[in-house]
Amino acid sequence: MEADEASIRSIPWCAALISGPNIVILPTESRAPKTSTEDALFARTLKTSDTISGCLTFYDQPGDSSASAPINRINTLVSLGSAVNGYPHVAHGGIVATLIDEVMGLLLSVNKHPKVAFPDVGRTVTAYLNVTYLKPVVTPSTILVSASFRETVGRKLFLNASVEDSCGVALARAEALWIRVDKSTEKL
């Protein structure tokens, strides 16, 4: 994870994003190998120099906010290589959707922390993910993937996401519904 941070910090526009006084940098948990197969896609398969060479998650915590306030938006900087391409120098749309889904999951995960005063997120799964592709995600490049809460209704969590390039140009937008899994019916 330290290598990811060093890699991302070496990119000037990324360093500027993560240098603010209220920026909190988080370990991107899905990049850490686990003894089970959990997160194997991001911790092994996509953690190479020509797939995703660097990944850093962060959020901006307002200075007057308490440590227990929910985190409503999370950002992840992702350095993509050419092995994620669908066309020459263009990331596959499925990879873009996967990155969006992953960052939404990171937003939910960080809000599961016991010190965060967010309504019980519990175990969640993606019910639907609707991605609108606006422009090609060029490779190699580093992109910003952001996810935020739109609304919570009972067990339903509605989230939005965006993918932007180094100039802040929107490359993709998404909306999703995540569902809190009822432990009594969980079959995973």
Q: For residue 17, is pLDDT > 80? A: yes
Q: Where are the domains of the chain?
A: 2-120+135-147+163-174
Distance (Å, whole) CA 27 – CA 13: 20
- The token pair at 55 is 């990944």
Query: pLDDT (tens digit, 9 = 90+) per residue, 129-169?
Result: 999 999 999 999 999 999 999 998 988 999 999 999 999 99
> Greatest CA span in the chain, whole angstroms?
49
Query: pLDDT (tens digit, 9 = 90+) per residue, 72-110?
Result: 999 999 999 999 999 999 999 999 999 999 999 999 988
Mean of pLDDT over the chain: 89
pLDDT band at 188 (very low <50, low <70, confident <90, very high): very low
Render the burial of 146-166: b for 16+ CB within 10 Å, e for the rest. bbebeebeeeebebbbbbbbe
Write down the pTM of the prediction. Answer: 0.90
* Closest to 25 in 3D by CA, of 94, 88, 77: 77
**pLDDT for 64:** 57
CATH class for the region spanning 2-120+135-147+163-174: alpha beta
Sheet containing 156-164, strands listed edge to edge, beginning at the edge strand earlier in sequence: 23-26, 52-60, 73-80, 141-153, 156-164, 170-180, 124-133
Chain mean position to CA 66: 23
Residue of higher predicted confidence among 4 and 148: 148
Angle CA 4–135–1, to nearest 5:
5
